[in-house]
Amino acid sequence: MEEQLAELAAQVAALEAKGNLTNTMFAETYYYLTIPLMIIIHAGFLAYEMGASRAKNALSSGVKNILAFAFVIPAFYFFGWWVYWAFPTGFSLSAGPNGISGAEYANGFALAWGDAAAYMGPNTEDQIDGVFWGAFTLFAATTASIFSGAVIERIQTVGFVILAIVLGGFSWTLAAAWGWHSDGWLIQQWGVHDFGAAGLVHAVAAFFALGVLINLGPRIGKFNEDGTANNLAGHNMPFTATGLMLIVVGFWGFLMGCLVVGGESWSWGGNFTTIYGTPTNLGALSFNILMGVAGGIIGAWTLTRDPFWMMSGALAGLISVASGVDIYFPSLTFIIAMAAGLMLKPAAAFIESFGIDDAVGAVTVHGVMGVFGMLVLGIFASGYPALLGEGVPTVSFIGQLVGTVVFVAIGFITGYGCSLILKMVGMLRVPEAAEIAGLDTVKVPAQAYPEGIMASPPASK
């Protein structure tokens, strides 16, 4: 009898081990697939920004976008990941994953010593840290791509790279530590809920861009002496619209990466949860991503009939519902997203009235709509538990307002401060002659259109 019980126990243990391995492999594969999907975001930004540039600047805008992606990856490896795990409670070092303290992570990151080093490279005993890091790295790179579009056609390449490293390696990561980490003080004390990162990715990046734009100044010819603005149209609207659609495609991976696989929740013991431990699933994302895209496009089309604003409206719709895409009912998602699409162009015109030259409307699409999305959630999700457990803080309008102010401040202060330093040392803006000639001419050893751009024939009379 004892032998049979022992054999049965061994079989149960073997099944449990096999089940755990299967769950781990599923989680590993899941996050692994989010990474190439999020890279599609960068393909979209690349096309979007090159098309939105004038022909003389098309390649230089592309080079800048490619470099942002390349430099943010090591910046996040060497520094950003540590910021996320080390500072959720403020600026004091706290525990990171696997029971390792923030101080130990500081020692171990990307180095060959310290307990954390085992989790920062190939490790056959650890199947998930690398792919989870990869997903977070793509969030970081996305912030730099959001920022890059706003400053095209006049920023110095090296100055831009420095700013991208600060944004992707520090600014957004600090916001994530405070508002996305389950121990983050914004969650624990104020009940902040930002599932899809409307505030801590989009608003941080956009207000970082706004701080830079103030120091960078407008493109030559953008504003007249009386303060009225001229439309410096990009050279390839189809390319821009296609790029925006690719960003929408990449959003599926972005929001997939916001889920936790196998986390415990109120309803079940091993399925999808948010990063806060609250329940959700892929069905919620499917309903709300599609309704957000549709609502944003329809709202922008209703007001503008312009394909640029219609596709920008798709992004605006997604961002406006991103904070609550895990819990919104689809009809509410559609209404919020449609309102965002309607607000989009008037908000861009308002920002432009202050002499701000945001070449692609990044501050509006990602910043204004990120703030709108954060605050709207505070109204519609008021009283919703912010964390898993008893006696946890709940979502409120005041809490969402506090989180929004913090995210905006992190982005704006770091963007303005760093760009001011670069401006003082002459590393922010290209010389006037180079800007007039076109940055491709003076910065890029290639031509976007070596045979010229085919001109439309004159209309027959």
Residue-wise pLDDT for 188-232, tens only, equals: 999 999 999 999 999 999 999 999 999 999 999 999 999 899 999
Which run of H or of E encompasses 263?
A: strand 259-263
pLDDT on residue 325: 95
**Residue found under tokens 């499917």:** 286
Rounded-to-integer distance, Cα 124 and Cα 134, Å:
17
**Contact of 239 with 51, CB cutoff 8 Å:** yes
pLDDT tens readout for residues 231-250: 999 999 999 999 999 999 99
Q: What is the mean pLDDT of residues 34-45?
A: 95
Among the ranges given (116-125, 343-352, 395-404), the one the predictor scored with the smallest mean pLDDT: 116-125
The structural domains of the chain, with segments of one domain joined by +, span: 35-443
Which run of H or of E encompasses 130?
A: helix 129-150
Is 265 strand, coil or helix?
A: coil
Per the model's pLDDT, the better-predicted residue between 262 and 240 turns out to be 240
Rounded-to-integer distance, Cα 449 and Cα 51, Å:
13
Q: Decide if pLDDT at 113 tops 50.
A: no
Split at pLDDT 50, 70, 90, the class of 324 is very high
pLDDT on residue 12: 46
Per the model's pLDDT, the better-predicted residue between 83 and 113 turns out to be 83
Which run of H or of E encompasses 273?
A: strand 271-274
Provide the b/e sequence for 119-141 (b: ≥16 CB within 10 Å): bbeeeeeeebbbbbbbbbbbbbb
Rounded-to-integer distance, Cα 420 and Cα 242, Å:
34
Split at pLDDT 50, 70, 90, the class of 84 is confident
Rounded-to-integer distance, Cα 442 and Cα 145, Å:
23
What is the topology classification, in CATH, of domain 35-443?
Ammonium transporter fold (1.10.3430)
pLDDT on residue 2: 64
Is 283 strand, coil or helix?
A: helix
pLDDT on residue 269: 44
pLDDT on residue 197: 95
pLDDT on residue 17: 47
Per the model's pLDDT, the better-predicted residue between 109 and 414 turns out to be 414
pLDDT on residue 26: 76
**Contact of 330 with 287, CB cutoff 8 Å:** yes
Per the model's pLDDT, the better-predicted residue between 366 and 21 turns out to be 366
